[in-house]
Amino acid sequence: MEYRTLGCIFGTIILDLMCSFGPLFPIPEYTLAKQLLIPAGVYIAIAIVCVFLIFPQTLNHIMLDAVTTKMLGTTIKLFKLQNQVVMTPPKDTEKWHELAVQSYALRAGHTAAVTALEGQTALLQLEITRGQVGPGDLQKLFGKVKNLGLRAYGLASFSMIIDEQQQSVKNTLDDISSHSNVRSKAHLDQMEKNIDEAHSLTGLLPILAESTAELRKSSAKALDDITEWLLLVNHTRWKKKPSTAPDITQREANILAVKDALKEFREGKHFSMLDSYKDNFDPNTGELKPDSAERYRYASRDLFRCFVFTSSLIGFTIDLIELLECLIQIERENPTSRIQLPSAFTKSVVKSANEKEGGNPLAMGTDDHSSVNVNRSVEEDEQDGHDEARSETSTAVEGKEKPKKEKKVKTHAKDPDAEDPRNAFQRFGRSVHHIWQGLTGASGLFALKYGLVSVALWIPAVCHSSAYFTYTNRGLWALIMAQTGLGVFTGEQILQFVLRMSGTVFGLILGMLAWYIGSGKGSGNPYGVAAATMVLAAPCLFIRIAIPMEKSPFFLMTNVTLMFTVGYSWVDEHVYQTANQGSGAGLAGRRALLVMIGFTAAFIVMLFPHPVTARALFRRKLAKNMSDIGDLYGKVVTGIESELDHDNAETDGNNKGKIAEARRERYKGGFLKVLGRIMAMQPQLAYAGVEPGLRGPWPKKKYEALFKTQSQILSTLALLSSAYSRMDVKWCKRLATRSELMHPAFIADCLSMFSILQQALRTGEPLPPMIPIFEKLAIHRNAMKGMARHQRGRSINTNGDMIEKTGSYLDNNVTTGDRESVADGMEMVTRDAVNVLQGNMTWSSIHDEQLALFATANIALVHIAVGLNEMFRIVKNLVGEKELQGLERASERWARGELGLSDTRV
């Protein structure tokens, strides 16, 4: 991205020079560009020589270092953070929130590193390098480290879920909205009465910490050792390794230690937390005691949350073992450094040349969107939401399911004003319509403003009355500043103005300081000026290279202004020319005036015509995220439903691994696309925050909360997908056929709420009167309970694996306390889990790793609803809601009736 940006700026400057100074010559002068091309050519030549002669580095070296430090290093920090998580007291809500924030930041850092490096992997086959890790090995290593980081996201979800739950309870208790929350508050009170310390997080977390200690310790040691080995390999390509370097036997021992710890955990320690629940089961038959169902429902609430951690830890360790085995294989094949030749040079060249959605090959890891095509979605959102009916994620996910040789059929988004084009004329008209939408969008309007300000400041350079004045006072600089200082959004314009103007002032001060130190009162000493300039410019230049591109405008303007001040001061003192602006302070003042003229022109054009606000675009992108997250939710839950078409035959380990990989890959494209867009929205949040609020202050905190909630829902949805990928078919069937959370009516309600919130946020229209999602679930559950009573005694055969008397079960196990509908999300998880597991709940059957995966999936389903409910609350505060008091009164009346509470208004 940086090289493309600098290339565009350089090309624009050459065009400005040719068009501004060219017309002033009495004869055609086509060599004006050499004033810039010659210095640029010399710079490139010096840079190439320095690259080869001064500490040369290959892409393989840069990539391996980035994979080790930015990707694997972030994953290790996230993994080691779990040591604090399992040792934190459950009642320390501030500490849990802090851990959740740290986990979120580390996860975002890993995602940024992956998206920045993924587009560079194809270029590894285009160079010759020396080392133990060849181009193909590094590509394989990149994939393994990437998957390990994704597994670490699941571990981070544990602290995020607990923090989210604590915040949800707080919001429920503090909610003063018109919506009835009688059920939720009643259940909070009920849980407080029925939960005891031994079966809460207070009693379970120490057991969790102790049982996972050995597995966490061996995994952390293995991670530290491979990091040390990768850094050593990367920095000893041309020299011998030190004698103290650990040999391959240490890493082989690490693999054995991790495998042994994992085996011991999966066979025994994984179920240590179940010991405190043994009293709920009959010691002779192992069946769940009839009078313990209600107590078990509340007691297993926090157990299921702990299973999220253990199931994620197992998945993380399995991927870690794969990474360790991959590195051992690489080390055995290449015991010493050697020349590594590209094994697929021609194929990689063709692939890189034909890649349409990849990143810039020259970005060298600076492109944040190299592998995730978020630009297309940006354009869609900029066009006032046109063509949003077709979701991005559906394209990404469905594309992987199509056969490779299937002919692509062009589809069109549904248009209420026009059907699909039927002839060439209509297809041409549809194309013209899309082009016009692009021209009238934010990018098209920016191009128009760019052209207007360029022509406005170019005209004085070619008019007879003003050409000499413009030339002698270097008006070209004002034109360049106006072009480079123009922003797409109002907030971006303001922010860039502050940064660039302050950088210009600072650069002028340093430039004058360098000139007067080097030249004194004379016309300049070349050695003194060069020495002073180098000393003052070096720190700013180093910072400019070291920091990310988006944070560099201040130091970029500082360096450019410093060099211009010193350079033109020297030229004006030693070269005779018509346009002599002096040196030192006089030149600095004129340069500052030109910068102000350019930025002022950019400001005027930014306001007229039609200033583009980043706030509206940010809001529409949040709406787009809701649509795509809803699509992903629908695809994952229907994927679980589709398991009903498969038999329950047991599969071996290899087939299970292939099934899990196929399930993960089915949704990975959609997850990465939405995640990439969420990352790209961060700068726009900053732009929106600095825009002036002429109509009133912008509710930044609410938008930040909505932005964070969407990230949490996406993370929880990934947790659901991860658990589903490892679940056996019979457990998927059990979840799909018995869980209230998988009821088609409830799924449809969730999808409808995603759609309604998306439409309301995109258009700004108030929400229709709605019932919160948990209240809807309670209504569905009461309907199911009534139907079950009606069908009492009927046997339900679920795929032949278990038979139960549904009506009898509900009558015997649903007590008066259970008539209350929905607690916070976690109580609903355990109540629903008891329902799903009925008929299979024995002391021996719960010692099954699939139970932990089931618990993880169940909790993820509920927390998706929790996040959806939180989005509903935030959007309602942003856009409002149409009041319908009778609906709220009826909702509360029915809720009180279901809970057996008196209604004073009746």
User: Using one digit for the tens of pLDDT, what is the confidence trace for 533-549?
Assistant: 999 999 988 888 878 77
What residues contact 855, with CB distance under 8 A and at least 6 apart?
A: 303, 304, 307, 308, 311, 829, 833
In this structure, what token pair is assigned to residue 787?
């139907």
pLDDT of residue 181: 59
- CB–CB of 679/111 below 8 Å? yes
What does 622-673 look like in DSSP terms, one character per residue?
HHHHHHHHHHHHHHHHHHHHGGGGS------HHHHHHHHHHHHHHHHHHHHH
Residue 179 has phi, psi (to 5 degrees) of -70, 140
Report residue 438's pLDDT band, with 50, 70 and 90 as the boundaries.
confident
Residue 288 has phi, psi (to 5 degrees) of -70, 130
Q: Is the pLDDT assigned to residue 880 strictly greater than 60?
A: yes
Mean pLDDT confidence for 509-531: 86
What residues contact 611, with CB distance under 8 A and at least 6 apart?
A: 490
Find the length of the chain: 906
**Beta strands, E only, 354-477:** none
Segment 592-608, tens digit of pLDDT: 888 889 888 888 888 77
First to last CA, the chain: 67
Helical spans, DSSP H, in 691-728:
700-726
* Other CB atoms within 10 Å distance of the CB of residue 16: 19
Report residue 847's pLDDT band, with 50, 70 and 90 as the boundaries.
confident
Cα dist. 391→387, 632, 673, 709, 821 in Å?
9, 10, 11, 20, 34
C-alpha to C-alpha distance for 719 and 725, rounded to whole angstroms: 10
- CB–CB of 429/417 below 8 Å? no
Q: Is the pLDDT assigned to residue 873 strictly greater than 80?
A: yes
> If residue 112 lies in a helix (H) or strand (E), which one and from where to where?
helix 93-117
**pTM summary value:** 0.76
- CB–CB of 673/396 below 8 Å? yes
Q: Is the pLDDT assigned to residue 447 strictly greater than 70?
A: yes
Mean pLDDT confidence for 578-590: 81
The mean-pLDDT minimum among 135-139, 177-181, 521-525 falls in 177-181
Burial of 318 (0-12, 13-18, 19+ CB in 10 A): middle
Q: Map tokens 């025994």 to a residue.
A: 268
Q: Which residues, in sequence order, are bridge partners of residue 131? A: 338
Q: Is the pLDDT assigned to residue 45 strictly greater than 60?
A: yes
Mean pLDDT confidence for 601-629: 86
pLDDT of residue 320: 95
Q: Between 358 and 903, where is the model more confident?
A: 903
In this structure, what token pair is assigned to residue 255?
């693999």
- CB–CB of 331/226 below 8 Å? no
C-alpha to C-alpha distance for 713 and 715, rounded to whole angstroms: 5
Give the mean pLDDT of the chain.
78
Which amino acid is present at 219?
S
Longest CA span, the chain:
108
In this structure, what token pair is assigned to residue 77?
């920090």
Q: Between 580 and 472, where is the model more confident?
A: 472
In this structure, what token pair is assigned to residue 712?
């949490």
Burial of 148 (0-12, 13-18, 19+ CB in 10 A): buried
- CB–CB of 676/115 below 8 Å? yes
In this structure, what token pair is assigned to residue 218?
């061996």
Q: How far is CA 420 from the centre of its chain?
A: 35
Segment 182-200, tens digit of pLDDT: 555 655 566 666 666 667 7
Mean pLDDT confidence for 552-561: 88
Report residue 378's pLDDT band, with 50, 70 and 90 as the boundaries.
very low
Q: At what angle do helices 729-738 and 825-837 cross, to 10 degrees?
A: 110
Query: Which of left, alpha, beta for 333 (phi over 0: left; psi -120 to 50: alpha)?
Result: alpha
pLDDT of residue 830: 53
C-alpha to C-alpha distance for 75 and 310, rounded to whole angstroms: 17
pLDDT of residue 229: 93
pLDDT of residue 718: 87
pLDDT of residue 424: 86
Segment 321-338, tens digit of pLDDT: 999 999 999 999 888 888
Residue 899 has phi, psi (to 5 degrees) of -85, -5
Q: Is the pLDDT assigned to residue 219 strictly greater than 80?
A: yes
Residue 797 has phi, psi (to 5 degrees) of -100, 115
Segment 805-832, tens digit of pLDDT: 333 333 333 333 333 333 444 455 555 5
pLDDT of residue 806: 32
pLDDT of residue 758: 93
Q: Dihedral sign, CA of 740, 742, 745, 748? A: positive
Mean pLDDT confidence for 64-82: 93
Cα dist. 815→13, 239, 385, 690 in Å?
78, 74, 50, 56
Q: Map tokens 């692009």 to a residue.
A: 438
pLDDT of residue 751: 93
Q: Is the pLDDT assigned to residue 435 strictly greater than 70?
A: yes
Segment 152-168, tens digit of pLDDT: 988 888 988 888 877 76
Query: Which of left, alpha, beta for 88 (phi over 0: left; psi -120 to 50: alpha)?
Result: beta
Report residue 71's pLDDT band, with 50, 70 and 90 as the boundaries.
very high
* Other CB atoms within 10 Å distance of the CB of residue 7: 11
Percent of the chain with pLDDT over 90: 20
- CB–CB of 643/473 below 8 Å? no
Nearest residue to 804 via CA among 846, 853, 841: 841
- In the DSSP assignment, the letter for residue 240 is P
Segment 697-740, tens digit of pLDDT: 889 899 999 998 998 898 889 889 888 888 888 888 888 887 88
